[in-house]
Amino acid sequence: MDITKVSLKELRKALDDKEISAAELAEEYIGRIKTADAEVESYITVTEEQAKIAAEQAQKLIDDNKAQPLTGIPLAIKDNICTDGIRTTCASKMLENFVPPYNATVIEKLNGQGYVLLGKTSMDEFAMGGSTQTAAFSKTKNPYDTGRVPGGSSGGSAAAVSAGLAPAALGSDTGGSIRQPSSFCGVTGLKPTYGRVSRYGLIAFASSLDQIGPIANSAEDCGILLNAVAGRDEHDATSAGVPVEDFNAKIGQSIKGMKIALPREFFGDSTDDEVKQAVTAAAKEYEKLGAELVDCSMSSLKYAVAAYYLISGAEAASNLSRFDGIKYGLRGEGRSFDEMIRDSRSRGFGAEVKRRILLGNYALSSGYYDAYYRKALALKQQIIKEYNDIYAQADVILTPTAPTVAYRIGEQETDPVKMYLADICTVTVNIASLPAISLPCGYNADGMPIGMSLVGKRFDEATLIQTADAYQRNFTVMPNKFRA
């Protein structure tokens, strides 16, 4: 069995039918990580010993016919999700040696199913960036071309799945951080509705925008993971008290009569022609399946990136104020209290994190709060209204996931504004608290993946997975060299 070419459902069947043991499956993935990850750098921490112990425990459940969907299944976890007793760094020198004393709620849920942790994946520092090159360590490469970025901030998780170094992974999405790297790496990534998955134990970037979600090889695999981690959590006041349905229940149902909207602003001059052509071709495939395409507009899109960076920067400045070198994390030096804090933050944070903190504090400062932050919040309401108007005439929305394919390493890191503008296709989803899924829909002339995004109504992840699966049944994925 080639473990890089099977789904989570197929792995479940192989484990239950005793075609492979949980220990053997974990060993195969650990072996692949040892062989290939030096080139990809998708992991910051590999938990080989913990994986062996977890696999043994999972095998007992399997032998006792007590297996759940993820029992014995190896997974990778983004390194901003707390894992009890296992280093969680946020890819930052500030937390380089931080070992959490508790698990995030999603980890507790996965433990309850008997999953196997392969390791913690790399990311942009504190999830701030779109390249995974702002990481203090393990600057991940794209498996389709190791001279290009994997996207970010969940680039490590996306690259691990793309390279066959994990069958699936968890990431987090603040402004596209699951969907954009999934697009760049040719895999499927789902950003759930805000509140669908508990954020307890997710080290905060922007609390009103952050959401944990799955990255996998298919929409169905994403649904299996979401089934495991979704639900109300008493530890997270923002988690929604909405019943957890079977998110894969609609898979296989016809999409005939479904209305799919294409907002024209997403297909403007800032989007590469090859990307537009691939997404438009995918829309035509949906027409062949019986869906109806709806032309629509989102006029506020041109202001969305500015609003996103004002809101997220303000929340980041507030959330990261806790890292002062006193309670935990890197402790600096100095002869006074102020000097020690200044040295801790100067040495602990990288350039991009400092830039976001400065932007956020500026937006919240006296004299600028009304001019910038309050206007950004007003625009948030306008974006929500425009989405509601579109959903009055459509079931889902189809857009490019990113305006370009993965760019070369070093190409945008020196121009932060250019990197920020690359989020144009994803940020409105977080601002409006909606669910969205990115899946591959083609490849450019260089063989780099192109992703499209389906955006759904709040808490309607099942329709997104149904719609994505309908397309994936007739789409052939081009393997990269790690999975050829």
Q: Which residues are catalytic?
A: 78, 153, 177
CA 368/CA 384 separation, integer angstroms: 24
Calculate the CA 314 to chain-centre distance: 21
Burial of 328 from C-beta contacts in 10 A (0-12 / 13-18 / 19+): middle
Of 241, 178, 232, nearest to 200 by C-alpha is: 232
Q: What is the number of other CB atoms lying within 10 angstroms of the CB of residue 20? A: 16
Range 47-65 burial, b when 16+ CB lie within 10 A, else e: beebbbebbeebbebbeee
How far CA 303 is from CA of 208, 258, 265, 361, 426, in Å, comes to 19, 30, 12, 20, 13
Give yes or no for a contact between 345 and 324, defined as CB atoms under 8 angstroms apart: yes
